[in-house]
Chain A
Amino acid sequence: MSETIEELVSQEYKYGFTTNIETDTIPPGLNEDVVRIISKKKNEPEWLTDWRLKAFRLWKTMEEPRWPNLQYAKIDYQSISYYSAPKEMKKYNSLDEVDPILLETYAKLGISLTEQKRLSGVAVDAVFDSVSVATTFKETLREKGIIFCSFSEAVQEHPDLVKKYLGSVVPYGDNYFAALNSAVFSDGSFCFIPRGVRCPMELSTYFRINASNTGQFERTLIVAEEGAYVSYLEGCTAPMRDENQLHAAVVELIALDNAEVKYSTVQNWYAGDKNGKGGIYNFVTKRGKCLGENSKISWTQVETGSAITWKYPSVILQGDNSIGEFYSVAVVNNRQDADTGTKMLHIGKNTRSTIVSKGISAGRGNNTYRGLVNIGKHATNSRNYTQCDSMLIGNQCSANTFPYIEVKNSSSSVEHEASTSKIGEDQIFYCKQRGINTENAISMIINGFAKEVFKNLPMEFAVEAQKLLGISLEGSVG
């Protein structure tokens, strides 16, 4: 069996093409001038330039974290270009004005930015290298008072909101990669759902790294006011390149009283080749704050790409009765390394959190779950349920689980369950005896394993995620 599985896990990456488009890229290197140039190119107000500079000065004093269970070559931060944008970027009034080559790229990726998307009810903001290219359905959303636009645009159009919330969940000095992002972030998405509004469609951002030698440092900020609801989807791809590319994003979510934010990611950055050459280094800080009472923040992630993944989408449960959820499927294959998990910080009373993590390791992949559940002194009657399951395919991969649990009051309860299993020869044989071939059998077994997470994804995304999981593990590229 091992032979067949070895063959099956040799995957190909179908988003590995590059787009030939003229870009406005600043030379590699990082110093205060570069930070100022980025800020100036984006015509930012002074307070934001200062904020970036403070972050940069702090970053210079910080050290890259070495505690993750990850193996990667030292990153040379001076060899990266911190800004790249398709040339002649102007503000578009309609999609007709967007460069057709760009639209073609997104079509290849399976995202139609055109009004066809109306049918599926997904509004898309597409970020190409450093800048946001187009946001669909802006008008429809505006009628409801919903703001969904690129981060740069939000800085121009809604500076007060940005100023109020930027860095309120992930401060610029939070960690090494968050500080770097705060200094050089180029674009991203901004989303604001006013009081009492239920966002009528899924909001979606599609991130694409195209240019070589560039990093992508996007920043997403989502605010749901009292009683508001939004479901947000994020997808990512990158071309196949021999060198590693850095992606260091920051996502901040804020939920006020009775608000709910659901954030789903299907991450499919290029993972490098079989021998571990190339691929994206993904160092991402994602955090949500349940600021209000009865608020809820839910992270669902399907991680199949990236050479290196360092990512812990977390929830600060500040409001009483607030709820935090984390559902994750992380797949590593070939030489991929993932160190991912979550933090649930219980501060308010009667707060509840759920963690379901499914790690799948194949090839020589190394998969680590790292999680923290912290229940504070005043977070009385709080509850956490954690389930960490690992599945191994083949004999050369590994799975690790590092759960940290800190409870500082006596009325709360924490449950933790963990399991490790191996796809059995007998399971595959059983499927084959019923007429199902090995590829489909593995895909079925894996999808069964990850089902609890998939059922939390919006329907359209769940189908995509299932397919992606199949592709990542089976080499049966369509």
Chain B
Amino acid sequence: MIEIKNLHASVNGKEILKGINLTVKAGEIHAIMGPNGSGKSTLAQVLAGHPAYQVTQGEVIFEGQNLLDMEPEVRAHAGVFLAFQYPVEIPGVSNSYFLKAGLNEIRKSRGEEELDSMQFLKMLKEKMKIVEMDPSFINRPVNEGFSGGEKKRNEILQMAVLEPKLAILDETDSGLDIDALKIVSSGVNKLKSPKNATIVVTHYQRLLNYIVPDVVHVLVNGRIVKSGGKGLAMELEANGYDFIREEMQQSA
């Protein structure tokens, strides 16, 4: 699905990612964990194509295509989805209008017919059940006046509607209470299929109790320093990130 090779990226001249190597296959869920400031969110933003980040080295192959050459919207058309850590508000634009516009752009790019309003609404209502969202959110402006939990749920709703091949969840668990966390995770699990893949970026292990990863990577100081199974996450939870740092120092 996606192959990241020796990826270096910086923001305002400061290097944040210092050679990331990561391969994710269809059907897999990968978790990326790491302490604050390790570059987790930067990785997510770079994959989505945020203009504030400059890629200085390396390449990313997504479904055989060079991802880094593509505009952010072209990446979205190709099936890359980012659930934002801080979803953006767009006053005056209704949730349904926004999502319909996005979905139809994606469908157009694939040569599929655009959905009309009736078809779209019917589909949207179905998808809203997955994240247990109230239908009133259909006509509310995008993320405006939403609580933190509602915003995160709205991200998963968008993911459900856009049906990406690769979903990147950036700290989707932050700011969620346990009930919201369950709803969001079960949404992600329902959307899982052998054809798509998920990268979960998270600070805490607790999300991984609900979204079970196939592989866990530990990101420290812009590099993946350790990869392993679900057990690695438990180890981190028990010992903190310090033990990784110690291991690194010992090996250095």
A interface residues with partner B (beta carbon < 8 Å):
1, 424-427, 429-438, 440, 444-445, 447-452
Q: How far, in whole Å, are A427 and B143 apart by their CA atoms in the complex?
A: 11
Q: State the Cβ distance, B69 to closest chain A Cβ, in Å.
A: 15
29 contacts between A and B (CB under 8 A): A427-B88, A427-B90, A429-B88, A430-B84, A430-B88, A432-B72, A432-B73, A433-B72, A433-B82, A434-B98, A434-B102, A435-B73, A435-B77, A435-B101, A435-B103, A435-B105, A435-B109, A435-B162, A436-B101, A436-B102, A437-B71, A444-B90, A444-B93, A444-B98, A448-B141, A449-B91, A450-B92, A451-B92, A452-B92
B73: contacting residue among A425, A436, A448, A451, CB under 8 A: A436
B interface residues with partner A (beta carbon < 8 Å):
48-52, 71-73, 75-77, 81-82, 84, 87-93, 97-99, 101-103, 105-106, 109, 141, 158, 162
- DSSP majority for the A interface? helix
Q: What are the residues of chain A within 8 A of B141 when measuring CB–CB?
A: 448
Closest to B97 in A: A444
Q: What are the residues of chain B within 8 A of A431 when measuring CB–CB?
A: 90, 98, 102
Count, A-B residue pairs, CB within 8 A: 81
Closest to B52 in A: A425
Q: Report whether B92 and A433 are in contact in the complex, using a CB–CB cutoff of 8 Å.
A: no
Q: What are the residues of chain B within 8 A of A432 when measuring CB–CB?
A: 49, 71-73, 76
Q: What are the residues of chain A within 8 A of B49 when measuring CB–CB?
A: 432-433
Q: State the Cβ distance, B217 to closest chain A Cβ, in Å.
A: 23
Q: How far, in whole Å, are A278 and B12 apart by their CA atoms in the complex?
A: 41
Q: State the Cβ distance, A161 to closest chain B Cβ, in Å.
A: 42
B93: contacting residue among A1, A426, A429, A447, CB under 8 A: A447
Q: How far, in whole Å, are A452 and B141 apart by their CA atoms in the complex?
A: 13
Q: Report whether B99 and A434 are in contact in the complex, using a CB–CB cutoff of 8 Å.
A: yes
9 closest pairs, A vs B, by CB? A448-B92, A434-B102, A448-B93, A432-B72, A430-B88, A435-B76, A435-B105, A451-B92, A435-B102
Q: What are the residues of chain A within 8 A of B97 when measuring CB–CB?
A: 444
Q: What are the residues of chain B within 8 A of A451 when measuring CB–CB?
A: 92-93
B158: contacting residue among A424, A434, A437, CB under 8 A: A434
Q: Report whether A429 and B101 are in contact in the complex, using a CB–CB cutoff of 8 Å.
A: no
Q: State the Cβ distance, A8 to closest chain B Cβ, in Å.
A: 14
Closest to B81 in A: A433
Closest to A440 in B: B101
Q: Report whether A430 and B77 are in contact in the complex, using a CB–CB cutoff of 8 Å.
A: no
Q: State the Cβ distance, A389 to closest chain B Cβ, in Å.
A: 9
* Max chain B C-beta neighbours (<10 A), residue from A431, A433, A444, A452: A433
Q: What are the residues of chain A within 8 A of B158 when measuring CB–CB?
A: 434
Q: Report whether A445 and B93 are in contact in the complex, using a CB–CB cutoff of 8 Å.
A: yes
Q: How far, in whole Å, are A248 and B166 apart by their CA atoms in the complex?
A: 59
Q: State the Cβ distance, A114 to closest chain B Cβ, in Å.
A: 31
Q: What are the residues of chain A within 8 A of B50 when measuring CB–CB?
A: 429
Q: How far, in whole Å, are A445 and B142 apart by their CA atoms in the complex?
A: 11
Q: State the Cβ distance, B160 to closest chain A Cβ, in Å.
A: 13
Q: State the Cβ distance, A347 to closest chain B Cβ, in Å.
A: 34
A445: contacting residue among B76, B84, B90, B109, CB under 8 A: B90
Q: State the Cβ distance, A456 to closest chain B Cβ, in Å.
A: 14
Q: What are the residues of chain A within 8 A of B91 when measuring CB–CB?
A: 448-449
Q: What are the residues of chain A within 8 A of B52 when measuring CB–CB?
A: 425
Q: How far, in whole Å, are A424 and B86 apart by their CA atoms in the complex?
A: 14
Q: How far, in whole Å, are A435 and B99 apart by their CA atoms in the complex?
A: 9
Q: How far, in whole Å, are A430 and B82 apart by their CA atoms in the complex?
A: 9
Q: How far, in whole Å, are A435 and B98 apart by their CA atoms in the complex?
A: 10
* Max chain A C-beta neighbours (<10 A), residue from B77, B87, B92: B92
Q: What are the residues of chain B within 8 A of A449 when measuring CB–CB?
A: 91-92
Closest to B80 in A: A433
Q: State the Cβ distance, B188 to closest chain A Cβ, in Å.
A: 17
Q: How far, in whole Å, are A451 and B97 apart by their CA atoms in the complex?
A: 13
Q: State the Cβ distance, B194 to closest chain A Cβ, in Å.
A: 24
Q: Report whether B90 and A433 are in contact in the complex, using a CB–CB cutoff of 8 Å.
A: no
Q: How far, in whole Å, are A16 and B81 apart by their CA atoms in the complex?
A: 43
Q: How far, in whole Å, are A263 and B90 apart by their CA atoms in the complex?
A: 29
Q: List 4 other contacts, CB 8 Å, given A426-B88, A449-B92.
A: A427-B89, A430-B84, A435-B162, A448-B141
Q: What are the residues of chain B within 8 A of A445 when measuring CB–CB?
A: 90, 93
A424-B92 CB under 8 A given contacts A429-B50, A429-B51, A434-B98:
no
Q: How far, in whole Å, are A448 and B97 apart by their CA atoms in the complex?
A: 10
Q: State the Cβ distance, A350 to closest chain B Cβ, in Å.
A: 31
Q: How far, in whole Å, are A470 and B194 apart by their CA atoms in the complex?
A: 41
A437: contacting residue among B84, B93, B105, CB under 8 A: B105
Closest to A444 in B: B93
Q: How far, in whole Å, are A445 and B90 apart by their CA atoms in the complex?
A: 7
Q: What are the residues of chain A within 8 A of B75 when measuring CB–CB?
A: 433
Q: State the Cβ distance, B49 to closest chain A Cβ, in Å.
A: 8
Closest to A4 in B: B51
Q: State the Cβ distance, A455 to closest chain B Cβ, in Å.
A: 10
Q: State the Cβ distance, B202 to closest chain A Cβ, in Å.
A: 19
Closest to A424 in B: B88
Q: What are the residues of chain A within 8 A of B81 when measuring CB–CB?
A: 433
B106: contacting residue among A425, A435, A448, CB under 8 A: A435
Q: How far, in whole Å, are A450 and B93 apart by their CA atoms in the complex?
A: 10
Q: What are the residues of chain B within 8 A of A452 when measuring CB–CB?
A: 92
Q: State the Cβ distance, A432 to closest chain B Cβ, in Å.
A: 4
Q: How far, in whole Å, are A437 and B72 apart by their CA atoms in the complex?
A: 8
Q: What are the residues of chain A within 8 A of B92 when measuring CB–CB?
A: 447-452
Q: How far, in whole Å, are A426 and B89 apart by their CA atoms in the complex?
A: 9
Closest to B93 in A: A448
* Max chain B C-beta neighbours (<10 A), residue from A429, A437, A445: A429
Q: What are the residues of chain A within 8 A of B103 when measuring CB–CB?
A: 435
Q: State the Cβ distance, A445 to closest chain B Cβ, in Å.
A: 6
A434-B162 CB under 8 A given contacts A424-B88, A445-B93, A451-B92:
yes
Q: How far, in whole Å, are A447 and B101 apart by their CA atoms in the complex?
A: 14
A429-B72 CB under 8 A given contacts A434-B158, A436-B102:
yes
Q: Report whether B102 and A448 are in contact in the complex, using a CB–CB cutoff of 8 Å.
A: no
Q: What are the residues of chain A within 8 A of B71 when measuring CB–CB?
A: 432, 437
Q: Report whether B87 and A430 are in contact in the complex, using a CB–CB cutoff of 8 Å.
A: yes
Q: State the Cβ distance, A137 to closest chain B Cβ, in Å.
A: 32
Q: Report whether A425 and B51 are in contact in the complex, using a CB–CB cutoff of 8 Å.
A: yes
Q: How far, in whole Å, are A70 and B124 apart by their CA atoms in the complex?
A: 49
Q: How far, in whole Å, are A445 and B141 apart by their CA atoms in the complex?
A: 11
